[in-house]
Structure 1
Amino acid sequence: MIHWDLAGIWLVIASFLAGCLNAMAGGGSFLSFPALLGIGVPPIQANATNTVALWPGQFTSIAAYFEDLKHNLKLVWPLGLSAIVGGSAGSIVLLRTKQGTFLHLVPWLLLIAATLFSVSGPVSRWLQQRTRSQRAADSHPSFLPLMFFVAIVCFYIGYFGAGAGFLIMSVLALFGIQNINQINALKVVTTTLANGVAVLIFIARHQVLWQHCLLMMVTGAIGGYLGGRGARRLDPRLARAFVTIIGFSMAGYFFWKVYR
């Protein structure tokens, strides 16, 4: 076990950088989750602690999209219900997974998340093109199929979650939501609710290591503020490429560590 002072320094650095990455391009979990594993936190508790530490930043981001949400208020409730059901199921399944089993899934989950993140750029461009090319701005998606697919994605969010935001965006676009700002707004609400119910379950089941979590909240918030300011001067393509490299590197490292 690493001494607390050294562990604290590493968590400060990793969570600060995670906050910066989330503000600039996303993908902060590629640093913060492995950082918890690296200081000896068991995999399931590391995932729970990381989810709780990053959630306040997600919640506050809803305010930035409030105006865009007004255009799809009828979708907020069904999507919210799907998020709560899927997020609850995913988090409960996670807590019923054995530590060793989840540890062997970690490399695959990181690989999936890195792959999702790597293709999110092209998908975002496709969404923007689709927004410009379609004129039926008042199309109404079918609620039940939309809720079903959103619930599946939110199950993944409750279980692990990294990289799931672009999946929500893709589902919404495929079901007829065409304005990119409205898609982002609904994505933020959906992922925040799915993670929020997971946060409540993790806390109720005493899976959160608060001595690490509170430290990550503070340093992640500072990193997020500074990262948001720096993002205006940084080429977003470079930021996304950097995060993608980190994601695949972490996946490769854990494949080597777990399966060697």
Structure 2
Amino acid sequence: MLFHSIPHWRYAWLVTASLIAGVMNAMAGGGSFLSFPAMLGVGVLPVQANATNTVALWPGQLTSVAALRSDLRRDLLPVVVVASITGGITGAVVLLHTRQITFLHMVPWLLLIASLLFGLSGPVSRWLKNRSATPHVERKIAIVPVFLALLPICFYIGYFGAGAGFLVMTVLALFGVEEMHALNSMKVLAACLSNLCAVLTFILSGAVVWRYCLVSMVFAGAGGYVGAQYARRMNANVLRAIVVVTGCIIAAYFFWKNGSLG
């Protein structure tokens, strides 16, 4: 493969993918659809590629939590935090114990599922906004059922993560959270905390390829800054469609690649 024989092309490919991934994450999400395959493209093993990509993209999530902290529902913080920590660590540990070839064969399915989740996020988001617009009375939330519903989502975030954010919003809405800003802030907190636990697990286990991680982190951050300047000017439906199409194309590529490998 050309990228393997010419080292500087590895970094050029990773830089470009990370930059675009940062822009995508700032505008609509789905940057992992590019940055994760880029890690594979420069020769990182599948499990380590996912771990490295998670670490590289996490700082951008932290800034989002800081910006939305005033919208957090204080009564839900304990259950969201515990579910995020438990699910994030468990998902990361299971990933690290997944065989490389097994995870490689799971990659196209994970990408396809994440793409479909992004596609569903549009109508679900519209439903949540319409629901939030109607007068409502804040209700007491059943903590144990919410925890049990959030746990598998946070596990998925720790294991792979792409496209899971709106599932957190949907679960909280179904259990009675009706204010859109609260839903969005709790979604960002759950994703950030689950990924933080995964990040720490990956770092402590030595699964991060730092020379690629730091390159991706810097340029994804730069892309995120650029994307944030234009996010409000772009049509959300168009952005979501671009993310879904990109994810499906990359999933199709990995289905073909896995098929060719037998």
TM-score, length-scaled by structure 1:
0.97
Deviation at 1:76, TM superposition (A): 0.8
CA contact (8 A) 1:2 1:39 kept: no
Q: Residue 97 of structure 2 aligns with which residue?
A: 96
> For structure 2, which runs of at least 5 residues remain unmatched after alignment?
none
CA contact (8 A) 1:2 1:40 kept: no
Give the letter aligned to residue 199 of structure 2. V
Cα-to-partner distance string for 1:48-79 (whole Å, 9 max, x where unaligned): 0000001010011111111111xx11211221
1:27 and 1:128 map into 2 onto residues whose CA distance is 21
Give the letter aligned to residue 226 of structure 1. V
2:188 and 2:82 map into 1 onto residues whose CA distance is 14
* 2:204 matches 1:175: no
User: In the alignment, which of 51, 61, 73 is matched to residue 58 of structure 1?
Assistant: 61
Cα-to-partner distance string for 1:18-62 (whole Å, 9 max, x where unaligned): 000001111000000011111211100000000000101001111
CA contact (8 A) 1:22 1:28 kept: yes
SS at match of 1:23: helix
Matches within 5 A, 1:214-233: 214-233=214-233
Q: Residue 211 of structure 1 aligns with which residue?
A: 211
**Structure 1 consecutive aligned stretches of length 4 or more whose deviation exceeds 6 Å:** none
User: In the alignment, which of 17, 22, 26 is matched to residue 20 of structure 2?
Assistant: 17
* 2:7 matches 1:4: yes
2:158 and 2:233 map into 1 onto residues whose CA distance is 34
SS at match of 1:232: helix
Deviation at 1:132, TM superposition (A): 2.1
Give the letter aligned to residue 83 of structure 2. S
Q: Residue 257 of structure 1 aligns with which residue?
A: 257
Deviation at 1:2, TM superposition (A): 4.2
1:60 and 1:258 map into 2 onto residues whose CA distance is 37
SS at match of 2:176: coil
> For structure 1, which runs of at least 5 residues remain unmatched after alignment?
none
* 2:235 matches 1:235: yes
229-238 or 209-218: which moved more? 229-238
Deviation at 1:233, TM superposition (A): 2.4
SS at match of 1:45: helix
SS at match of 1:48: helix
Identical counterparts, % of pairs: 52
1:203 and 1:127 map into 2 onto residues whose CA distance is 36
2:5 and 2:42 map into 1 onto residues whose CA distance is 6
Q: Residue 82 of structure 2 aligns with which residue?
A: 81
Deviation at 1:173, TM superposition (A): 0.6
Q: Residue 50 of structure 2 aligns with which residue?
A: 47
1:2 and 1:161 map into 2 onto residues whose CA distance is 31
TM-score, length-scaled by structure 2:
0.96
CA contact (8 A) 1:134 1:178 kept: no
* 2:161 matches 1:161: yes
Deviation at 1:134, TM superposition (A): 5.2
Q: Residue 27 of structure 1 aligns with which residue?
A: 30
